[in-house]
Structure 1
Amino acid sequence: MTDFYVVPAWQEAEWPAPTRTSRARRYAMTPPAFFAVEYAINPWMDTTTPVDVGVAMAQWEALRQTYLRLGHSVQVVEPVPGLPDMVYAANGGFIANDIAVVARFRFAQRSAETKAYSRWMSSVGYRPVTTRHVNEGQGDLLLIGETVLAGYGFRTDPRAHGEIAALLGLPVVSLELVDPRFYHLDTALAVLDDRTIAYYPPAFSEAAQATLSQLFPDAIAVSSVDAYAFGLNAVSDGLNVVLPAAATGFAAQLRAAGFEPVGVDLSELLKGGGSVKCCTLEVHQ
């Protein structure tokens, strides 16, 4: 497994950038009122590192305001005491084609989030459905066009992929993750528009890399430096890409490809192993 990945020189060549178009999106977010690192279920979590909830709340609010400024709507899901990771709303489920699939978490520490997000889905008019096997929502399920890219290897059970395909009526492409630092698909791959992705190749198995190369020959390959900064844990509206401010190399790649990078600081929430996308559940319409 390659430990350090440098963007190939050919990807740094200057080419005319295509015209990108934004589309208003609908997001759900949960404020980090009860955020803490009380346990370690991914390599980024360190229970000895102090967490400042006030800073986390301010950074989260800045992200919410960024979405509003860009013309998107944000629904707030009420946090629940005792669920410190509920701020990572993307893991709560997957909503598309008027179907709301609620998450089934691998770790007991997060299992009660299923009920909380199910209640929210019901409150906004959906009838939540679940899978028999573990699925961790948009952490491992990313929609691009009319296809779902589905990660497995650390959290979501690959047997859930077939269930997701049947529930949504959409094709699902399974992608194996092999580096525990990138334990969810949304930490190693970002959907930029209906045809374009960015990803970190060493996070994936050789078979998954081959699949991505075939499906997305124009994908942006991100360096180790930006991947370790959680740069791929980003949210795009087709033009504006909201990403961790520390991922400066990726921001330059985005700009060269015609996108508008919008850097935000979520360093406090990174202590729990999440950033922009982790905090954002998109309601696909």
Structure 2
Amino acid sequence: MTMTDLPEITAPSCARAAFLVAPEGFSLAAQSASDNAYMDLSLAVDPERALAQHRELHRTLARYLPVIAFAGDPATPDAVFPNNVFGTVRGRLILGHMCHPVRQAEAERRDIRGFFTGVLGYEEVDLRRQPGVCELTGSMVIDRGRSIGYCGLSERCDAVGAAAMQAAFGLDAMVGYALASGEYHGNVVMSVLASRAVVLCPEGFADPGAGRAIAAAYGEGAILISPEEKDAFVANCIALTGRHVFMSRRAADALRPATRRALDRCGFEVVAVALDEIEKAGGSLRCCVGEIF
């Protein structure tokens, strides 16, 4: 596959449901901060405010698709970002191989795993058993309709882990690229929206030309954002329907007029939720959302 010749859309582009993990005992994990420039350990956090914002996120998303929320655990303070640890394709639950021990504990959750295997009857694929580090849809942005993964390589995902994810998600193609220095996950520098648009910051790539090539493949669906928009988590957005793109209030407030016009041109309405308390942990709305396919 070349970046000028995208395949046709042949599969559902948006999740049929979503799941969240509540920020119980919300705090900042020093291990995660070691390679996440979006975190500042000097900031004070308010656990009750984080819970309130998370409940509002649940209420907002539930107006558009079914959403399940699992209880949080103070022993795993980063568990509010389940998409790094748990991923799905139809009939399959994938467990990621996390970089930091504080995140590795999340994959032991019997309730989340039991919901997918025991209630939904999904097969479990455990990538912790292979040597590559792979933080699932934190590292890899997937064009679900076209079965393509765009994988940002960093300490959080190496080439071996990327190949393991391609196999586990059953992707027809994968485009790997090195993230720019200071970036930790692909989903903070780009997002594919319902397989027809891509929000992307070229400066988030070690080679900005590689980012521009990915964007150009989407033609008029290419939405290039500035480093300032990226830093406000604009690229950490997600299309959970074919018409709505969800992002944090901080991200929505940072949108340039040209970016808003581009989203409108591509047929997307922005739905924003205040998540500034949770964003202190270095992730935003997309990171909070586990997709159920």
Give TM class, smaller chain: 0.7 to 0.9
Equivalenced residue count is: 262
In structure 2, what is the equivalent of residue 8 of structure 1? none
Which residue is equivalent to 2:89? 96
Output the amino acid matched with 2:237: A
Instruction: Note the C-alpha offset of 1:60.
Output: 1.0
Secondary structure at the counterpart of residue 85 of structure 1: coil
Q: How far off is 1:209 after superposition?
A: 2.1
Pairing 1:248–2:255 present: yes
Question: For the structure 1 residues 257 and 198, does the alpha-carbon distance in structure 2 shift closer, same or farther, using more than 3 Å as the test?
Answer: same
Query: Could you list the runs of 5+ residues in structure 1 that have no partner in the other structure?
Result: 1-21
**Partner in structure 1 of residue 22 of structure 2:** 31
Opposite residue 235 of structure 2, the aligned amino acid is: L
Q: Deviations over 1:198-221 (max 9, x none)?
A: 111111132632541453233110
2:269 matched to 1:260? yes
Which one is further off, 206-215 or 58-67? 206-215
Task: Tell me what 2:230 maps to.
Answer: 227
SS at match of 1:105: coil
Which residue identity lines up with residue 44 of structure 1 in the other structure?
Answer: Y
Q: What RMSD over aligned residues (CA atoms) do the two structures have, in Å?
A: 2.1
**Amino acid paired to 2:22:** P
CA contact (8 A) 2:39 2:282 kept: yes
Residue 49 (structure 1) aligned to one of 16, 28, 43: 43
Partner of residue 121, structure 1: 116
Provide Cα deviations, 1:42-99, integer angstroms capped at 9, x if missing partner: 11222221100111111111111111112x0111223223100000111122211322
Do 1:175 and 1:208's aligned partners in 2 also have CA atoms closer than 8 Å? no
1:120 CA displacement: 4.6
Counterpart contact for 1:161–1:174, Cα < 8 Å: no
Q: State the TM-score, normalizing by the size of structure 1.
A: 0.84
TM-score normalised by the chain length of structure 2 = 0.82
Take 1:141 and 1:121, find their aligned partners in 2: how far apart are those partners? 21
Shift of 1:178: 2.7
The amino acid that maps onto 1:135 is C
Match of 1:112 among 84, 105, 112: 105
- Percent of aligned pairs sharing the same letter: 27
Task: Choose which of 258, 273, 281 in structure 2 pairs with 1:272.
Answer: 281
What are the ranges of 5 or more consecutive residues in structure 2 without an aligned counterpart? 1-12
2:165 corresponds in structure 1 to: 164
Give yes or no for contact 2:140–2:149 (8 Å, CA) kept in 1.
yes
Check the 8 A contact 1:92/1:281 in 2, yes or no. Answer: no
